[in-house]
Amino acid sequence: MSEKLLRRLGLGSAIAVVMGSMIGSGIFRIPGAIAAYTGTVEAMMLVWVAGGLVTLCGALALAEVAVLFPKAGGIYVYLHEAYGRLTAFLFGWLILIISPALNAAVALVFGEYVGRLLSLTPSGARLAAVAAIVIVATSNYRSVRFGAAILNIATSVKVMAILALTVAAFVLGNDATTHRPAAAGAGPATWGGFGLALVSAMFAYNGWQDVTNVGGEVRDPQRTLPRAIVGGTLGVMLVYIGVNAAYLHVLSIGEMAGSQLVAADVAVRLLGRAGSAAIAALVGVSTFGTLNGGVLVFPRVFFAMAEDGLFFRKVAAVHPRFRTPHVAIVLTAGMAIAYLSLRSFEQLIEISILGQLPFWVLGVGAVLVLRRTRPELPRPYRTPGSPIVPLLFMVVMLALLVNSFAEHLASTAWTIGAVAVGIPVYFGWRRLSQTAVARGLKPGNYDQKRA
């Protein structure tokens, strides 16, 4: 499918895609919400550990399918191979809806914190967000190596900065346990709240699967993809657990629950106004890197759909000189800029996670399906602990979805409904494709003249 794209990404760049996509705005904004949902230190830390372990199970399983089909499009390709065109199309339809939302959410946080550093107005901050989208889109349009280089640098800087904040919190901070009230128990305030906290944590862990979208541009994918997916996920899990322990060393659980930006509050307590500026710069670098990762990986899904005839054929175009899916990149960037004027950060992230959960389940479940339906395929990497590892991931994701329906019925139903709308769209597209073929056109080329 992706033979027109060149394999230029090595192991270091692939790991940077995983870690750079995962470590974005979430770790700076989500801990406060998780503290509020859980209510105790023990339950809060359990959420981060559980979220990391569940994500690691998904990574261990998805790596097996990534090795079988190292092509542009990632989970879209795996769903197509395991379940057929409709399921794959619905995932692509979802990505068409949420990837601009994710990129816009990250760009919005970038703009806000650049605005703090430069004293910009709210309008100026939004313009900074637009400028960031244009810059990363231009970089990825020009070269996948250039886009990967930006991601490598940004990921290295933000991981080192987060580790520095963690060390500083333990060295310079006063232990918050000395003024922390005794907890009524080690469990969460409610198990429904624990489930919602875990959904929030999954937003922070989101991105572990993104490197599969550029599988068609990874060198030696049979060895590189499993190492990148599993190694990057494990690395982020350790970073998240460490930095949340550092937050709790400086702030009480109540202070965290009342904070929208825990990292900034920790830095201010440690370093005063200089700490606030340092965190603003860190969030700027972090979100810029994550935005670059989103513009790198999401266009490959649209590229794969177009090559399958399930999207406009022109979206599968590869630049004759730069060898990048340039039309898909421009489409992704343009939609993200449009989303910036429509939604808040909280609305944008709520759209993104709940819709992905069913497809994460199906993507990981493809390991078991393909072992039964395609046993002849060579498997140089096999999921350790199978079938328990993939099944554990699938059960937890389904439980989170059920809990979200119970706790936030309206938003969950809206998100799932938006995916369901893709079903009539799919059959309408098929009808258009059949009509196009009958007229002598290629599927997806509905703007062509009659042959």
Domain locations along the chain: 11-438
Q: Which CATH number fits domain 11-438: 3.90.950.20, 3.10.20.90, 3.40.50.720, 1.20.1740.10?
A: 1.20.1740.10
325 close to 317: Cβ distance less than 8 angstroms = yes
d(CA 451, CA 433): 15
pLDDT of residue 6: 80
At residue 72, φ and ψ (nearest 5 deg) are -65, 135
d(CA 334, CA 283): 23
Instruction: Kindly give the residue spans of alpha helices, DSSP state H, lying in 186-272.
Output: 191-205, 221-250, 253-257, 262-271
69 close to 78: Cβ distance less than 8 angstroms = yes
d(CA 261, CA 251): 12
d(CA 222, CA 213): 15
d(CA 57, CA 53): 6
d(CA 247, CA 176): 9
What angle, rounded to 10 degrees, do the helices at 144-172 and 221-250 form? 30
List, in sequence order, every residue forming a beta bridge with 218; answer none if it has no partner.
Answer: 9
Using alpha carbons, select from 200, 203, 205, 213 the residue that is nearest to residue 235: 205
From residue 133, alpha-carbon distances to 119, 299, 330, 333 in Å are 20, 14, 10, 6
Q: What is the pTM of this model?
A: 0.82
pLDDT of residue 437: 59
Q: What is the full per-residue pLDDT of the chain (451 aa) written as tens digits?
A: 444 778 888 998 899 889 988 887 778 878 988 998 898 899 999 999 999 999 999 999 999 999 999 988 889 999 999 999 999 999 999 888 888 877 888 888 888 888 878 888 988 988 999 999 999 999 999 988 888 888 888 888 888 888 999 999 999 877 655 445 444 445 566 667 788 888 888 888 988 888 898 888 899 999 999 999 999 999 999 999 999 999 999 999 999 988 877 888 898 888 888 888 888 888 888 889 889 888 988 899 999 899 888 888 899 899 998 889 999 999 999 999 988 766 555 555 555 667 788 899 999 999 999 999 999 999 999 999 989 999 999 999 888 888 777 776 776 777 778 888 999 999 998 888 777 656 655 555 444 433 3
pLDDT of residue 139: 92
Amino acid at 288: F
Using alpha carbons, select from 181, 185, 179, 182 the residue that is nearest to residue 38: 185
Using alpha carbons, select from 253, 203, 238, 148 the residue that is nearest to residue 25: 203
Coil/strand/helix, residue 173: coil
pLDDT of residue 451: 34
List, in sequence order, every residue forming a beta bridge with 214; answer none if it has no partner.
Answer: 72
355 close to 98: Cβ distance less than 8 angstroms = yes
379 close to 226: Cβ distance less than 8 angstroms = no
pLDDT of residue 447: 42
Which single residue is written with the structure tokens 């703090």? 116
d(CA 101, CA 113): 19
35 close to 41: Cβ distance less than 8 angstroms = no
pLDDT of residue 188: 60
Neighbours of 166 (CB within 10 A): 20
